[in-house]
Structure 1
Amino acid sequence: MLEELLAAGIAAGCAGAVYIASAARVVKQYERGVVFRLGRLAGEVRPPGFTLIVPLVDRLHKVNMQVVTMPVPAQEGITRDNVTVRVDAVVYFKVVDAAYALVRVEDYKFAVSQMAQTSLRSIIGKSDLDDLLSNREKLNQGLELMIDSPAVEWGVTIDRVEIKDVSLPETMKRSMARQAEADRERRARIINADAELQASKKLAEAAGVMSEQPAALQLRLLQTVVAVAAEKNSTLVLPFPVELLRFLERAQQTPVEQASQKPIGK
């Protein structure tokens, strides 16, 4: 009799151990457990740690609550100003409601991926090329709103969306390079013209000062000679004032010729 009780106790203990082993589950810190009892959602979402379920009746699904980094494949489209581009992006999202992520959508990762691709193509068609190249922050915000609106119903929130790269056709790259080069050349010409205008004004002022003081012209002539002589050249270039030539021409003329060149009224 004692042996039968002992055997029954051992059998019950083994059965209990098997039951506990089959019912015991461990949910990690970054996970949440969702229990389905006979196909229906049962109770609250299980927190991290040790938990028990009913074997053969309950099924525990673990949902990762970490931030997921999902690359969006490059999408080709035509911008609003009729330029063909290829744009790729990356989406950062996480699950905030584990039950919704399992019940309301079949595969929330696949759903977010498809929504991101569709939204990216839509953004390309609504934007100009200049916006894609220089105004990405605004486009990122618009892309985030477009993806986040349906994702909220799936228990998913979009943390951030970033446009990674914008690929342009080779012909467009060459056209943009020529445009940039032409713009730089235009600015260089404007700067040179402005410098010449300022220099001409200064030269005009200097000429006015020298006309009032003839000795200043002689001093400028001597400075030019000194500057040329400092180069240690075998040839010396000496500027000759035109006024001196006119003086010599008048000195060689006879009094009759000088009188004929005077105005008649004088």
Structure 2
Amino acid sequence: MTLFQDLIDRLTGHQRLTLTETQRMLVLRKGVINTILGPGKHRLPRRDVLTELHDLEALFFVSPYERALMQNRPELAEAHLTEFRAGPDEVLVLLRDGVPARVLIPEVRALVWKDAGPWAVEQHALTESMVVLKAVAQRLVRVGLQIHLTRVEIAEGHVGLLTVDGVLVDRLNPGAHAFWKVGRNVEVKQIDLRQRTHEVTGQEILTKDRVTIRVNLSADYRVVDPVKAMGAVKDFDQALHRALQLAFRKTLGSMTLDRLLAEKVGVDTEAADRVRTQMAGIGIEVGEIALKDVILPGEMREILTAVVAAEKQAEANVIRRREETNATRSLLNTAKVMAENPVMLRLKELEALETIAGKVERLTVHNGTEGLMSDLVKLRD
């Protein structure tokens, strides 16, 4: 029977083919769309016939004849295909068996095979912030459709400032956030709200008496108004750096070196108030500001070292003379007491003898015990 059919097909100019359950075939006769074949055996003419095989597992109908099919054979397209089209202000998520299969951004359409379904659709309106619900974002990431998302994680202690096409639209708290990627420029700038320290090192300043010094500054600060901090200046760290430089340069430049070294703590307070007032205007709260180090040139350092050494030597001499005077006065008073009281003198002698006896192993009394006892009796009398 098969040989007979093949013979008839050759004589009549036909061919036979078999399609499986997951295959569909678009048939054009003489260049015109004729039909869409489903699973089973089919007999087609060999001449003036074009065929296009499609796999249902591809889910979507993609063909150069798509527009002609929709316009010229709408009933045939409706029988086999379903069209989805996203509006100008929405995003569509196509679901196959309840699982996201594709994301359609605004003004984009897609044709799916009905037999590849069942199909459903989720509509998501585009908001000003372009934000994607957390549950929706997680589902799209799980199925590998994160290409349509812009994802950002805000660290603890930070805040995110969301801009869309250069316009600030929202303030984001710590956590994971997702936004639709639909051709608009979505950016998130993270601002650290924690207490931080800014250092200004090696700042050269000319004092009033024309001595060049280098100072190291330190300032604790934190951002209290991130929106103002980002909008008022390009870089608030650099703004704080310049404010510290100018404030201390102005304060220290009007002082002599001796006054600067003597009033270092007061200088901190005067310059710090100026910096705090300026930075408060751009949303920055400045805490402790310290003039950590004052570094002098080598020659000036040697001169000051010599001056300090001389001052300390003079102080030491004064103290030494004062102590010597006190010691001499004390000896004089003791001598007067002993001169007026022989018993006191004798007691001092015995104390000296006791001290000497404690430091030697053997004591020989040349006067004899009788003489020693006589002296003790005299002392007692």
Aligned position for 1:161 = 289
**Inter-partner Cα distance in structure 1 for 2:274 and 2:151:** 38
Aligned position for 1:60 = 187
Shift of 1:167: 1.0
> Between Structure 1 and Structure 2, which shows a larger proportion of helix residues?
1
**Inter-partner Cα distance in structure 2 for 1:130 and 1:22:** 67
Q: Match for 1:14 among 103, 114, 128? A: 103
**Inter-partner Cα distance in structure 1 for 2:150 and 2:301:** 62
Aligned position for 2:38 = none
Q: Is the 8 A contact 1:73 1:117 kept in 2?
A: no
Shift of 1:61: 3.0
Alpha-carbon spacing, 1:60–1:19, altered in 2? closer, same or farther (3 Å):
farther
Output aligned runs, 1:241-256, within 5 Å: none
Aligned position for 2:241 = 113
Q: Match for 2:280 among 148, 152, 162? A: 152
Bigger shift: residues 195-204 or 89-98 = 195-204
Please report the TM-score for the alignment, with normalisation by the length of structure 1. Answer: 0.64
**Inter-partner Cα distance in structure 1 for 2:197 and 2:329:** 64
Q: Match for 2:152 among 20, 26, 36? A: 26
Shift of 1:28: 0.9
Output aligned runs, 1:209-220, within 5 Å: none
Shift of 1:132: 4.8
Alpha-carbon spacing, 1:14–1:182, altered in 2? closer, same or farther (3 Å):
same
Which structure's CA Rg is the greater one? 2
Amino acid at match of 2:174: P
**Inter-partner Cα distance in structure 1 for 2:304 and 2:297:** 11
Amino acid at match of 1:92: D
Alpha-carbon spacing, 1:136–1:206, altered in 2? closer, same or farther (3 Å):
closer
Shift of 1:24: 4.1
Aligned position for 1:78 = 206
Bigger shift: residues 130-139 or 100-109 = 130-139
Amino acid at match of 2:103: C
**Inter-partner Cα distance in structure 2 for 1:63 and 1:201:** 77
Amino acid at match of 1:13: R
**Inter-partner Cα distance in structure 2 for 1:22 and 1:96:** 34
Please report the TM-score for the alignment, with normalisation by the length of structure 2. Answer: 0.48
Cα displacement string for residues 54-89 of structure 1 (whole angstroms, at most 9, x for unaligned residues): 844453331322444432142222334553311122
Q: Match for 2:219 among 91, 112, 116? A: 91
Amino acid at match of 2:212: T
Amino acid at match of 2:82: L
Q: Is the 8 A contact 1:132 1:166 kept in 2?
A: no
Aligned length: 228
**Inter-partner Cα distance in structure 1 for 2:275 and 2:327:** 60
Amino acid at match of 1:109: D
**Inter-partner Cα distance in structure 2 for 1:152 and 1:96:** 9
The percent of aligned pairs where both chains have the same amino acid is 23
Amino acid at match of 1:59: V
SS at match of 1:154: coil
**Inter-partner Cα distance in structure 2 for 1:19 and 1:60:** 20
**Inter-partner Cα distance in structure 2 for 1:202 and 1:150:** 64
**Inter-partner Cα distance in structure 2 for 1:56 and 1:130:** 64
Cα displacement string for residues 183-238 of structure 1 (whole angstroms, at most 9, x for unaligned residues): 2222232223223323443444455456657x79x98xx99xx9xxxxxxxxxxxx
Aligned position for 1:122 = 250
Structure 1 runs (4+) greater than 6 angstroms displaced: 17-20
> Between Structure 1 and Structure 2, which shows a larger proportion of strand residues?
2
Q: Is the 8 A contact 2:197 2:219 kept in 1?
A: yes
Cα displacement string for residues 145-169 of structure 1 (whole angstroms, at most 9, x for unaligned residues): 2222222222222233333321112
**Inter-partner Cα distance in structure 2 for 1:100 and 1:54:** 27
Alpha-carbon spacing, 1:138–1:192, altered in 2? closer, same or farther (3 Å):
closer
Cα displacement string for residues 18-69 of structure 1 (whole angstroms, at most 9, x for unaligned residues): 9975454324133323233454433x42222325368444533313224444
Work out which structure has the larger RCO, using CA pairs closer than 8 Å and 6 or more positions apart in sequence: 1
Aligned position for 2:42 = none
Q: Is the 8 A contact 1:31 1:62 kept in 2?
A: no
Amino acid at match of 2:163: F
**Inter-partner Cα distance in structure 1 for 2:281 and 2:160:** 19
